[in-house]
Amino acid sequence: MMNPSTKDDIFDYLLSFASSAALGAALELGLFWLLDERPLDAAGVARALGIPGNRCQYWLQLLESIGLVDQVAQGYAPSSTAQTAILDAYSQESWAFLAGEARERFPAVRDLALHIREPGSTWAAQDLTPPDYFAQMVDNPKRACTFTHMLYELHRSQARKLAQVLDVTGVRQLMDLGGGSGVMSLALLRQHPNLTSTVVDIESVCAAGREIAAGHPAAERITYQAADFLHDDLPGACDMALLCDVGVYERAFLRKIQAALNPGGRLVVVDQFAPAPGVAPAPRLHWAFLGALHNPDSADPTAGEIQARLTRAGFQLLSKSALPGHWTVIEARKT
């Protein structure tokens, strides 16, 4: 929605949770892909998706009001906005996963006025448990596979940009920690034919990564090592370690990475850092707010804070640069 400027806008914002839920349901149920095959009237959509007729009619009207479906002669069809921003952007499976994740986190903001003053977790105040990302990936291989394919889609553009600017002079072996699908590694391998990479992640994620890499021209130069990188041994003799959107910067972990690097090896950190203490990076504002509802003391680190941690862990800082999308690249060398 646009920024509110009138009382009517404020009223619309108060009820925008319904629009958000309507969009999430449309993504999870595949409405836009259904209508992309052929336009349908409300009765046709109701039959296809098993939704009571009157409810379905209002659902479609609500989606029309926010510009995501249009009425055409044959019924409803995806709007040009939905075509560009949804259908042409990511796959149906990825959108469904993203919408499902948002739905799982909705309890954090339910009855917010009643719980925002809680000194602890608003989840605990409601006798609820927030989703455990790591446990979900370990316990549900199907979910891990969908999640890994989704992140591959989301990060391909960022990976291409990183590959264009990252200097890998003297690097033969890359260690991609928490690299998931290997999207970053694959982009770098495409750009640098003498480079090889080992992606380190949990087994279910590695299995999905191997599927993705199998159709890539650089498939023979990438391997996937199943491990909990915080507790298991890391591959040794690496010239460069990559931490992209991982968010783990404890000193013990940084020292562990340093031990796995060859003499003079480099660590590259890519993340969306806070522009100032207590200020969320713009793309992560909603996630930062949700995180603070679970842990009031949670805060995204600044790039300067991460650089200080790297220095304390024994790395020599080399550079800090920016990528589009509020991404920062920090490079440091093993001393």
β-pairing verdict for 69-72 and 315-323: unpaired
pLDDT band at 134 (very low <50, low <70, confident <90, very high): confident
Query: Looking at residues 190-216, what average pLDDT do you find?
Result: 95
pLDDT value of residue 1: 53
Question: Where would I find the H helices in 166-250?
Answer: 183-191, 203-213
Query: Looking at residues 87-116, what average pLDDT do you find?
Result: 95
pLDDT value of residue 12: 82
Q: What confidence tens digit (pLDDT) does each residue in 220-229 have?
A: 999 999 999 9
pLDDT band at 133 (very low <50, low <70, confident <90, very high): confident
Q: How many CB atoms lie within 10 A of CB 206?
A: 23
Query: Looking at residues 250-265, what average pLDDT do you find?
Result: 95
Q: What confidence tens digit (pLDDT) does each residue in 25-74 have?
A: 999 999 999 999 999 999 999 999 999 999 999 999 999 999 999 999 99
As a whole number of angstroms, the distance between CA 152 and CA 180 comes to: 8
DSSP at 202: -
Distances (CA, A) of 294 to 53, 113, 122, 124, 288: 38, 15, 6, 8, 10
Q: What confidence tens digit (pLDDT) does each residue in 91-105 have?
A: 999 999 999 999 999
**Is the pLDDT score of 243 beyond 90?**
yes
Q: Helix 141-165 vs helix 203-213: angle between axes, to the nearest 10 degrees?
A: 60
Domain boundaries, the chain: 7-103, 133-163+170-334
> 178 with 155: CB under 8 angstroms?
no
As a whole number of angstroms, the distance between CA 304 and CA 101 comes to: 31
Average pLDDT of the chain, as a whole number:
94
As a whole number of angstroms, the distance between CA 196 and CA 124 comes to: 45
Q: How many CB atoms lie within 10 A of CB 65?
A: 12
Question: Where would I find the H helices in 15-140?
Answer: 16-29, 31-37, 42-49, 53-65, 80-82, 92-104, 112-115, 122-125, 133-139
pLDDT value of residue 158: 94
As a whole number of angstroms, the distance between CA 103 and CA 101 comes to: 5
pLDDT value of residue 145: 95
Asked: is 7-103 a CATH 3.30.70.260 domain? The reply is no
Query: Looking at residues 68-89, what average pLDDT do you find?
Result: 97
DSSP strands (E only) in the chain:
69-72, 75-78, 173-177, 196-201, 222-226, 238-244, 261-271, 315-323, 327-334
pLDDT value of residue 2: 62
- Which architecture does CATH list for 133-163+170-334? 3-Layer(aba) Sandwich (3.40)
